[in-house]
Structure formats: C-alpha cells, structure tokens
A and B are shown apart, each in its own frame.
Chain A
Amino acid sequence: MTDLLFAEHLCAGYGGPEILHDVSFRIDHGELCALLGANGSGKSTLIRAVCGLLPFRGKCFLEGKELSQLSQRARAQKISYLSQRSSLSIPLSVMDVVLMGYNPVLGIFQTPGKAKRHRAMEELRRVGMEHLAERDILSLSEGQRQLVMLARTFVRGAPLLVLDEPDSALDFQNRHKVMELLQAQAHEEGRGVLLCSHDANFAMQYADRLLLMKDGKLCSDISMQACGCEELQQALSKLYGPITLAEHRGNYFMMKG
C-alpha cells in the first residue's frame, strides 16, 4: 500500500538561509505522528513545506502523487490544515466557520447543502461546541475558537490532517479531549495525523510516533510501540537536555533533571 505522505530529502526556508535540512520521513494511514522540537527547530517550516505553502527542494509524495504536481485545490482536498491561531477578522457564526472546511470540495459558486450542515453540526458536537453554533466566532475565547477550528479541520474527512499546535490555548481537560479526538481520527477513521506540539508528555501518551526535530534536522523518528524507556529518554534528552522519564500505567512522563 502507498504511504499517505512520503517526504525525501526536504530542504526549505523563507528566501534567506535554509531552515529545513535534508528531512525524510513517512506517515501512514491510521497513524498519529507528533512533531516535537524547541522553538526555531523548523517544525512549522516542515509543516508548511508539506502543505505546499513554502517552496522546497527534495521530494514529497501525497498518496503516491508528487506534491509539486498537485494544484492548490487538489492539495487542499487531501490535506486538512490547522494553523496555530485562528485568522478570523470579521464576524462569522461558528457554523459558517466550520462550513468553510468544505470549500475544497465545493464549486466556486456552490454552497454547502443540508447534509454538509448536518455533518458540520456533528463535528461541533464532537468538540463540544454545538450549543454555540450560531454565536459570533469573534465573541469566543481563543480556546473555544481552537475547538471550532478543529471541527472545521475534521469536517471534510481529508486523508491527512496537519495541525500546528492545535491545543496551545486549551485547558487541561480540553487538551486531553483534543488528543483523544485526534487519536480517534487516526485509529478509527484511518486518517494520517501530523501534529506539531510543544508538550512531550501529551505526545508520548497519544502519538504512535514521535518525530524529533533539532536545528532544522530530523534527529529521531521513534515508534512509541517499539521503543523502550531508555531509548526514548536518550532521544528526548537530545532536544530538552537532562531529563528523567517516569512510567505510570503504561504511559511515559518527562521531568526536567
């Protein structure tokens, strides 16, 4: 079976010196991959390159098709992307924001029909925001907006979900909820998930694989099922310095020192 995403020797930057150096990795259907790394390690650059938002050198294949050969629309049909912050500037109802997620599969003049509205409400229910469907998105807190954006990311059922810190404004409960939802998207719906995160503990608890980035390079690609505590600790200490890993009920927790 073809990989969902296969990147080979990716190099990218923003016009100046390259930030991403020779990164290769793959993501399969049904896999939740967490991208970890310090600030400025190239996580967001990698995500942008994979989404076709940045020009890159190297090869990147999406379901066997070369990314650079796909139109923006075709790419948008296959990748559902969630940026770090919601970029909404005008008043829109929560429902309208979620319905925006359908745009890649609609004609330019087409509007979402009843079935799509129903599905959008289902997704809002899934993230616990259905009671705010008619509220103005600008009146919500940043955390609530992130949940709405997550519903928008799920609504179309794209094969690959790419999320840049989708939980940065969420409280403890909602962060667990979001990670559970992402896990369900991967394991139950068979989608691939590439998640950029700053929380190694959440990543270790929910992700199937950890991609560790340092100085624009992929320094480790770890399968959570196959690796042991020592290997994991060694890999993470490359990013975070001296750390200790503790195991509790089959989950690892990272502490400084």
Chain B
Amino acid sequence: MAACLIVAAATVASLVIGRYSINWTEVFQDSMSAKVFFSLRLPRTCMALAAGFGLAVTGSVYQAVFQNPLAAPDIIGVSSGATAGAAAAILFLGGGVAATALCAFAGGLAAVLAALTLAAVSRRSGIATIVLSGIVINALAQAILMLLKLTADPEKQLASIEFWTMGSFSDVTMDKFSGVILWALLGIVGIFLLHRQILLLSLEEEDARMLGVPVKWMRRLVLLLATLITGAIVSVTGLISFIGLLAPHIARLLTKSSRFSTTVLSGLVGSGLMLIADCLARSIASSEVPVSIITSLLGAPFLFFLLCRKGESND
C-alpha cells in the first residue's frame, strides 16, 4: 500500500517536473500545455514507470535463476548484445530512433539466444554452463562494439553510442512506448504465471529436478521471457544500471520473503526509483543528465550497505 502511494506520488511529480511549466487548466484544450503533457511528460512518465517495474522484475528473476544475489542482465549478454545492436543502427542505419530501438532489441535477444544455444551445444547441464556461455557472448559482443566504435565518427556517432549506454528517457514518445510495452507486458505476465517455477529454479538443479521441474527448458523459457522485458525496455531507454539489482533487494529487505507479492513489490520499488531518478536527471542540472548516472549514484551506496549488512550477519 505504502509502495503504491510512493509510486503514485512519484508519478505525479514526474508529470509536473520539467523545464516547461504546465498550465493544468489547459491540458485538455488545444494548447502548448496539452502538447507538452501528451507528447513529452505522459509518455516519459509511462515509460519510466514501466521500465522500473520491468527491470526490477527481471532482476529478481535473474537473481533467483542464477542463484546469485548480484545477477543482472549482463550475465547472459543482454546488455552488451543490445548495445552492439544499437551501435550498429547508429553507424549503418543513420541512428534513427526506431531503427536504434529495433536493432538494440534484436541485439539483446540474439545475444541471449546465442548464449543459450552455446550452453545447449556444450552438452553440460548446470547454471555455470549458461554463465560461461554468457561470458563468451559478452566478450564477443564487446569486441563487435569496440570494432564499431573504432570505425565510428568520433563527434557524432561515437557520442551517440556513448550516450545510448548511459540511458535516457528524453527521446521517449507515445509511439515508442506503445511499440514496446506489449512485449514487456507479455514477458511480465509470463514471469508472473511462472513465479512458482522460478522459485524452484533457485534451488540446486538436482533438488529442482526431484521436485518435478523440467529444469533445462524451464530455465530457457524464463530467461527468454526476462530478455523480452529487458530488451524491450532498453531498446527505447538505452542501458539503465542498478535498478534491476537494487529493487528486488529492497523488496526482500521489506518482506523477508520471495513470494509473488515480493516480486510485485519489487516492481513497484523499481518504478518508484526509476521515476525519482528520472525526475532528478531532468532537474538537477541545466541540461539533462543521463539517468544511469543517477541510478548508479543511488545504487552504489546501497550495494555497500548490503555488503556491510552481510558482513554483520556473518559475524
């Protein structure tokens, strides 16, 4: 309930805060305020809300499936694949917004499919094989990215690639939002439906198998659904750090559990954090600051706090 209120308050703040002050009495008339509200603030707020929710939910999925509290989409190459895709679009397709989003989405999905295929081909089961395959694909995508950066025009294209990796909501439009929200929703609904199976995947493989979980294909399905969400979000926003790591930990700290309600709470915490980070990003300096800078500034101390807390509980 408190989380819903915080998210609602952050949503209102996100709709209000901005360089152009909106005259609320003119929002539903044909006015400048209406244009700013419907074409800038509303899509931006909706995207931040959805991005925070989606990244937080996928964060909790990655942490459970990889049995690692620090697991993030990078672990199986989503982020580096998406970045390589976006860079390719900036270089070869003119860097149009739609082309960049599409290529980033395809890049992220292709990287995860490649990592999962590699893991399947290796004929070794276990989560470590997927992690190792992810490292291979990550390295490959990074190499491609470096190659693309090397050939990029340093003033325009290279700057665009770097800006993309820092994440921003400044280019979000209602068209882009509606283009990706269905994919993200599809992934979120799938994850919610499979919530119980995801918890079982957090056990050792032998235990999960003896509890009737078809571990191999369930793991692949869940990771693909999580990739669908992450890929859809970052294709529009660029890379956003720490939300997927932070929000599930906060939710678990509050509930001391990993129930379905904890996953929903984690999504709400993610939305709240993302909205606050985006409000800060567009209001703390004269020009807009990339949102990943803010989320990293919020995330790093929290990670340190978790580290100290773990240390205390181990003493």
Task: Spell out A's residues near B (CB within 8 Å).
Answer: 48, 51, 53, 72-73, 75-77, 79-81, 83, 87-93, 96, 100-101, 103-106, 108-109, 111, 136, 139
Contact = CB atoms under 8 A, between A and B. Distances in A.
B44 to A, nearest CB: 33
Interface in B193-212: 193-194, 196-197, 199-200, 202-204, 206-207, 209-212
Contact of B210 (A79, A91, A96): A79
Contact of A90 (B193, B196, B212, B258): B258
Interface centre among A77, A79, A108 (most CB of B within 10 A): A108
Interface residues of B, number: 27
B211 A103 contact: yes
A90 B63 CA distance: 8
A136 B200 CA distance: 16
A84 B141 CA distance: 40
Q: Give chain B's interface secondary structure class.
A: loop
B252 interface: yes
B257 interface: yes
A89 B211 CA distance: 16
B71 to A, nearest CB: 11
Contact of B193 (A76, A103, A104, A109): A109
A103 B196 contact: yes
A33 to B, nearest CB: 19
Contacts of B197: 108
Given A96-B259, A103-B196, A109-B193, A90 B209 contact: no
Contacts of A87: 203-204, 206-207
Task: List 5 A-B pairs, minimum CB-CB distance, nearest first.
Answer: A104-B212, A87-B204, A76-B212, A81-B210, A89-B67
Nearest to B256: A136
Contact of A91 (B203, B206, B258): B258
A73 B214 contact: yes
15 contacts: A77-B212, A81-B207, A83-B204, A83-B207, A87-B206, A90-B64, A90-B67, A90-B199, A91-B256, A92-B199, A96-B257, A96-B258, A103-B200, A103-B211, A109-B194
A72 B207 contact: no
Given A53-B209, A92-B258, A96-B257, A111 B252 contact: no
Contacts of B200: 100, 103
B203 A88 contact: yes
B213 interface: yes
A128 B304 CA distance: 38
Contacts of B214: 72-73
A104 B194 CA distance: 15
B207 A91 contact: no
Contacts of A75: 210
A111 B200 CA distance: 13
B263 to A, nearest CB: 11
Contacts of B213: 72, 103
Nearest to A76: B212
Contacts of A53: 206, 209-210
Interface string B198-233: 011011101101111110000000000000000000
A145 to B, nearest CB: 13
A215 to B, nearest CB: 24
Given A90-B64, A103-B212, 10 more contacts: A53-B206, A83-B204, A88-B202, A89-B67, A92-B258, A101-B211, A106-B196, A108-B194, A109-B193, A136-B257
A73 B210 CA distance: 8
Interface in B131-170: none
A108 B195 CA distance: 10
A93 B210 contact: no
A91 B256 CA distance: 6
Contacts of A104: 211-212
